[in-house]
Amino acid sequence: MVTSRGLFLKVNSFKSTDKDSMNNASNYIIAFSVFILAFMMVFLDRYNRLESPFAIKSNNEILFLSEGGSLDDLIPILSEYEIEFDSDELMWVAGIKGWSSFRPGRYELGPHSSYNQFLSRLSRGEQDPFMVRIGGGMEFDRFALRVANQFLFTSDELIESMKDSVLLADLGIEEHHLIGRMLPNSYEMYWTTTPEQFVRRMMREFDVAVTNPYMDRASELSMTIDEITTLASIIEWEVRHVDEKAKVSGLYWNRLNRRMRLQADPTVVYAIGERRRLFNSDYRVVHPYNTYTFRGLPPGPINNPRITSIQAALFPENHDYLFMVAAPGTGYHTFTTDFQDHLRESRRWSAWISEQHRLREQREREEQNSQTQEAS
C-alpha cells in the first residue's frame, strides 16, 4: 500500500530527474554554442586575414620589381614604397596559399587589396602594361637611351639587339635602315619586354602603319620603303610646322629628279654629330651622309621620322621650287625657283640672325649692369 508520503517522494524524485536532464541539455547547448562561436571567430579571423580587401593599402603605388626572388626578398622591397602591410600576416598567408616567390614586372597597386590577391599577381607575374611613348626625330643613340629609360632593359642592351645581325636578317632589314622604322607613337607594352621583343614589335607596327598601306605608292615613285623613310627623316629635321612638310618634300623631289645635290642641312648636322648652327667648313665635311658633297639620298635615315614626314615624302606638293631658306622669325621657309633670288633671301636671313645676336648681347649687358647696380 502506497502512502501519500511515499507518493509525494516519488513525484519529487521524478521532478528532480527531469530538472537535472534539462540542466544537462542546457549545458550542452551552451557549450556547443560557445564552441560554434569560437570556431566562427577563428574562421572569420583567418578568412579576414586571407581575403580582406584592405589587408594591403597603398597610395596607388606602382611597384617595380627588376628581378624575381623569394618572399623574404620581397619584404624589404615593399618597405621602400608607401605600402601599408603586416609582414607576419603576409608570410602567414603566403604559407597557407603556397605562394613562395615573385616574378619581375611593373605592378600597379590600387588603394587596397587582399594578401592573397596581391601575392597571386606577383607569383604569377600578372603585371600591368603601360604606354610606351616613342618620340620622333631621334638619331640612333638618343633613341636607344630614351626608349630604354622606359623599360627594364638598358640602352646598351637595346643597341646590341638593334645591331644583332641574326635578328636583322630574320627581320629582313639592314642595320642603317632600322632607325627609320621605329615609328613615333604610343604603344602598350610590358616593362619587362626584352630588347628583341621591342624591336620585333616596332617592326610589326611599322608594317601595319606604313609598309602595308604605302608599299604600292612607294613603288609608283620608284622608291623602296627605306628610301622613303630616309627622305622623310630629312624632312623631319628640316621642317618645324606640319603644314609645310609636303612643300619641302616637293622641293627635295625636284632636286632629286634633276640630279641636283639635295644640299639638306640636316644631313650635315648628322655628319658632324651635333645639332648646332652650321659653319661654312661644316658643309665641306666628307661624310657619306653629307648631301652637300654626295648626290642623291644618304645611305639611310638620319632619325626616326613621324608618320606626317613619311606621308609628305610619299605625297610631295607639286611645284617648281628648288631653293629654300629659313624665313625670319616664323619657323617656316622662303622658297624660290631661281638661285639669285635664293641668295637675296639668304642675305636677308643672315642679317636677321645677326640682328638677333646683337639684341641678345645687348640684353645680356643690360642684365649684367642691372645686377651690378643691385649688388652695389
- CA triple 8-13-18, angle to 5 deg: 130
pLDDT for residue 276: 87
Residue 47 domain flag:
no
> 72 and 181: one domain?
no
Residue 106 belongs to what domain range?
Answer: 56-124
Q: Which candidate, 350, 358, 356, 359, places its Cα nearest to that of 325?
A: 350
Q: Where are the beta strands (DSSP E) in the chain?
A: 56-58, 62-65, 69-70, 83-84, 101-102, 105-108, 112-113, 130-134, 185-189, 323-326, 333-336
Residue 255 domain flag:
yes
> 158 and 307: one domain?
yes
Q: What is the pLDDT along the chain (376 residues), one digit of tens a residue?
A: 545 555 444 545 555 566 666 666 666 666 555 555 544 444 455 556 667 787 888 888 899 999 999 988 998 998 888 888 888 888 888 888 888 899 999 999 989 888 899 999 999 999 999 999 999 999 999 999 999 999 999 999 999 999 999 999 999 999 999 999 999 999 999 999 999 999 999 999 999 999 999 999 999 999 999 999 999 999 999 999 999 999 999 999 999 999 999 999 999 999 999 988 898 999 999 999 999 999 999 999 999 999 999 999 999 999 999 999 999 989 999 999 999 999 999 999 888 888 888 888 888 887 887 777 777 6
pLDDT for residue 33: 58
Domain's final residue, options 89, 124, 159: 124
> 113 and 165: one domain?
no
CATH code for the domain in which residue 109 is found: 3.30.1490
Domain's final residue, options 81, 102, 124: 124
Residue 36 domain flag:
no
Residue 233 domain flag:
yes
Take residue 226 and report the three cell numbers written for it: 627605306
The domain tally of the chain equals 3
> 281 and 137: one domain?
yes
Residue 367, CA distances (Å) to 372, 373, 374 in order: 9, 10, 11
> 173 and 145: one domain?
yes
Record the pTM: 0.83
> 209 and 78: one domain?
no
Residue 19 domain flag:
no
Residue 187 domain flag:
yes
Number of alpha helices (DSSP H) and beta strands (DSSP E) in the chain = 15, 11
> 103 and 71: one domain?
yes
Tell me phi and psi for residue 304, to 5 degrees.
Answer: -100, 100
> 159 and 302: one domain?
yes
Q: Is residue 173 a contact partner of residue 161, using CB atoms and an 8 Å limit? A: no
Q: How far is CA 173 from the centre of its chain?
A: 24
Three-class secondary structure of residue 254 per DSSP: helix
> 331 and 272: one domain?
no
pLDDT for residue 36: 55
Domain's final residue, options 74, 94, 124: 124
Residue 329 domain flag:
yes
Residue 44 domain flag:
no
> 222 and 298: one domain?
yes
Q: Is residue 333 a contact partner of residue 248, using CB atoms and an 8 Å limit? A: yes
> 252 and 213: one domain?
yes
Strand partners for 106? 64
> 227 and 274: one domain?
yes
CA–CA distance, 289 with 291 (Å, rounded to integer): 6
